[in-house]
């Protein structure tokens, strides 16, 4: 269970998150809705440990993450513009998190093949990520995040910048892939339809904070 408790963050004196609280049950996929600039990304970054909160806490299965650095949290994140490592191939990108967890080579290879099939790109392992189309890159980013089976997956507007048809198709695929992985996920979007497709539950960010 992921719990966000009364988290506040201010940038240069301007409150971006104001006492935000949110709870996700195990295996639950929640869509977090809000207009751009409303602090959705900031909340994900606080959960991932990329930005320290000014106050409040993030708990995972009852343990505070306040003093746990990002790389020990086992919280995966799909970034808005994928952030695939440009100097590595598709397979090496997906394998990255497994190497960090010291998986053996054979197990890594098997897992990469499994994920490439899951995202429908079975022959893409040796490709350079700079040669991928927009939709392919987004699939690979999802696979890379899911590969080490993180306890929570955060998705930061992972489907923006796609044309309508591809967007809808990928939204459905993402929903299916997250269900198949059975993972707890927080999906940030500004698109209510996308949220409805991907998530079990939709919450709006402006309902989470305590307004002064």
Task: Among 11, 66, 110, 133, indicate the residue that binds other proteins (CB under 8 A).
Answer: 11
Q: Which is nearer to other proteins, 155 or 199 (CB)?
A: 155
Comparing CA positions, the residue from 133, 134, 153, 128 lying closest to residue 143 is: 153
Is residue 86 at the binding interface for other proteins, with CB under 8 A as the rule?
Answer: yes
Residue 57 in contact with other proteins, rule: CB under 8 A:
no
Residues paired with 55 in a beta bridge: 8
By rule CB under 8 A, what count of residues binds other proteins? Answer: 33
Q: Whose Cβ is closer to other proteins: residue 32's or residue 132's?
A: 132
Binding status of residue 144 toward other proteins by CB under 8 A: yes
Q: d(Cα 45, Cα 53) in Å, to the nearest integer?
A: 9
Q: Does 126 bind other proteins (CB under 8 A)?
A: no
Q: 49 or 56: whose CB is closer to other proteins?
A: 49
Shortest Cβ 192–other proteins spacing (Å): 26
CA-closest candidate to residue 188, choices 5, 17, 10: 17
Touching other proteins, residues 153-192 (CB under 8 A): 154
């Amino acid at each position: 269970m992921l719990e966000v408790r009364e988290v506040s963050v201010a940038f240069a004196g301007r409150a971006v998150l104001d006492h935000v609280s949110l709870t996700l049950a195990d295996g639950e996929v929640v869509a977090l809705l809000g207009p751009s600039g409303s602090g959705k990304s900031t909340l994900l970054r606080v959960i991932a440990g990329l930005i320290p909160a000014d106050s409040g806490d993030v708990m995972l299965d009852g343990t505070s993450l306040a003093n746990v650095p990002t790389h020990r949290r086992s919280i995966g994140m799909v970034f808005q513009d994928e952030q695939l490592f440009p100097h590595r191939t598709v397979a090496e990108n997906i394998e990255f998190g497994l190497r960090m967890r010291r998986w053996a080579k054979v197990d890594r290879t098997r897992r990469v093949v499994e994920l490439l099939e899951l995202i429908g790109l079975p022959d893409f392992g040796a490709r350079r990520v700079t040669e991928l189309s927009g939709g392919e890159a987004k699939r690979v980013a999802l696979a890379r995040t899911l590969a080490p089976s993180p306890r929570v997956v955060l998705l930061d507007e992972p489907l923006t910048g796609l044309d309508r048809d591809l967007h809808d198709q990928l939204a459905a695929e993402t929903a299916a892939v997250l269900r198949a992985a059975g993972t707890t996920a927080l999906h940030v979007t500004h698109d209510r339809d996308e949220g409805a497709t991907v998530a079990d539950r939709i919450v709006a960010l402006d309902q989470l904070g305590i307004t002064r």
